[in-house]
Amino acid sequence: AQSVTQPDIHITVSEGASLELRCNYSYGATPYLFWYVQSPGQGLQLLLKYFSGDTLVQGIKGFEAEFKRSQSSFNLRKPSVHWSDAAEYFCAVGPIIQGAQKLVFGQGTRLTINP
Amino acid sequence: KAGVTQTPRYLIKTRGQQVTLSCSPISGHRSVSWYQQTPGQGLQFLFEYFSETQRNKGNFPGRFSGRQFSNSRSEMNVSTLELGDSALYLCASSVGNTGELFFGEGSRLTVL
């Protein structure tokens, strides 16, 4: 069955430090991969996506992610975090069924920024 | 271009009641999906509509239903509410078949 694992439930980093959020997936075919961010009380905003091609993808707000097929991973990185990056981050894979827009999400990683 | 709009944003119901949530997708998006988000279960897929037809359904009881209108707006309904239905209900619209979803801010339902 398709699944997404985000091993870290909660991460705390200092402002200005680098960040890496881990994501591992299980998917039978070539996946479409996504990272979404959710601020408290808000919906999800797409940070970046991987469909094919270059395995290093750039997103909004200075985030990037690298697709590694051999490791079934799609880790999210940022060189220097800002206090406004504090939020919950979700990795997702899909679409699970051809022709249907269904994503499977990880459980999320909550990011706290220390001043 | 306006984003996905969900109404109401917050609502409180009691057990046994029913609720209807509304979602207006981004203009031009014909697919609307619904997700339930809870602290324990995370984000779970409810169903997806495309051109007024339910294209896929998640593993939720029949109390959860939805529909889509000709203008792509969608509603979901939960009947006979239970305490466990308290959640943030997120609507997302999309264009194409890549799974790239654009989410609304959600409707937070509290069942007392």
Compare B2 and A72 and report the one with higher pLDDT: A72
The residues on B that touch A, with CB distances below 8 Å, are 4, 6, 31, 33, 42-43, 45, 48, 50, 55-56, 58, 90, 92, 94, 97-106, 108
Please report, to the nearest 10 degrees, the dihedral formed by the alpha carbons of residues A84, A51, B90, A98 taken in order: -170
What tokens were used for A100?
């249907």
Interface contact A102-B56, CB threshold 8 A: yes
Evaluate the CA torsion angle B20, B23, B29, B31 in order and state its sign: negative
pLDDT in tens, B13-71: 999 999 999 999 999 999 999 999 999 899 999 999 999 999 889 999 999 999 999 99
Interface contact B56-A105, CB threshold 8 A: no
CA pair distance B4, A89, nearest whole angstrom: 20
Give yes or no for a contact between A78 and A19, defined as CB atoms under 8 angstroms apart.
yes
Interface size A-B, in CB pairs within 8 Å, comes to 70
Q: Which helix (H) or strand (E) holds B76?
A: strand B74-78
CA pair distance B31, B49, nearest whole angstrom: 6
Give yes or no for a contact between A38 and A85, defined as CB atoms under 8 angstroms apart.
no
Interface contact B97-A94, CB threshold 8 A: no
pLDDT in tens, A21-67: 999 999 877 788 999 999 988 889 999 999 888 899 999 999 999 99
Interface contact B42-A45, CB threshold 8 A: no
Compare A1 and B68 and report the one with higher pLDDT: B68
